[in-house]
Amino acid sequence: MLNWLQSLLGRGNGPPGIPEALWHSTLLRYPFLARRPVADHIRLRALVSRFLAHKEFSGAHGLIVTDEMAVAIAAQACLPVLHLGLRWYDDFKGIVVHPGAMLARRQTTDQAGVVHYYSEALLGEAMERGPVTLSWQDVAAAGDLAEQGHNVVIHEFVHKIDMRDGLADGCPPLPSRAAHTAWHAVMQPAYDSFCEQVAMAKRFGGQQPWLDSYGATAPAEFFAVACEGYFVQRDRFTQDFAALTTLFDQFFKGNRPTTK
C-alpha cells in the first residue's frame, strides 16, 4: 500500500513530490482535472502531496490501496479546497476505500413507535469529525461519470466542508450573519426549484433534472450534489444554476471565510 509515499514520508524533508508519470496518468484518467489551467495543476499537485502526507488510507474487504488509487482520491478531494486550503480537512485523518458500494445498517422509528431495521447501499459516507469512506468502483469511474455531473469524492469531501461548523446543513462556515443570509438567499430558491423539478418528473413524467435527484432529499445533499456538477462540468452546471456558479465562485475561489 502506497509504496512510493511510504518510501518518502520518513525522510523528514517535507511532503514528498508526486512522481511525474503518476501525476500525468492521474490527469489523463480524469479529464475534468486535466482541462484546468496550468496554474491550478501546479497548486493542486502541491496540495495533493501535503494531503497524502497527513491522511491515512486503508482498504476494506481485502482491498489494497495503491499509489495510483491514493493520488486519484487525493486529487479529487483537494479540488474543492484548491484555494481554501487543507485546514478545512484538518478534523479527520482516515480515508477508508471499499471495492464497491457498501451496505450500511440503518434503523427508523415509525409513527406508531415501531423500530424498523434496513440496509442502505452507499457509494460513500462522511462522518462528522470522523473518516471518509468511498467506493473505489465509483472513484475509478469518475472520469466517465463527469458527463452526468457525478463525483463521489467531491460529494463526500464537500460534506466535510459543510460539517466544519457542526452537522451538514447545506451551508459551509461563513464569517458573518450577513454572509449566511446571502448564501441562503441563493441556495434556498435553487433547492426549492430543484425539488419541484424532481417531484414533477417522479409524479407526472416531467423532464428529469441533469443533477442527481438525490440532491432533493435534504439541503446538505443538494449542496454536495450541486458541487459535484460545479467542479466536474461547470459549463453544463451553469446552464441550470447560473446563480449558484456565482455563489460557489465567491466561496471556493474568491472570499476565504474563516473556520470555527
pLDDT at 101: 78
Cα diameter, the chain: 62
pLDDT at 260: 36
- Please identify every stretch of the chain with a pLDDT value under 50, giving residue numbers as ranges: 1, 9-12, 256-260
* Domains, in order of start, for the chain: 3-254 (1.10.472.150)
pLDDT at 122: 75
pLDDT at 108: 65
> What is the tens place of the pLDDT at every residue in 99-158?
987 766 655 666 776 665 655 667 889 998 899 999 999 999 999 999 999 999 999 999
pLDDT at 121: 67
94-98 and 102-109 as β-strands: parallel, antiparallel, unpaired?
A: unpaired
pLDDT at 230: 98
Give CB contacts under 8 A, 24+ apart, made by 8-16: 9/53, 15/46, 15/49, 15/50, 15/52, 15/53, 16/49, 16/52, 16/53
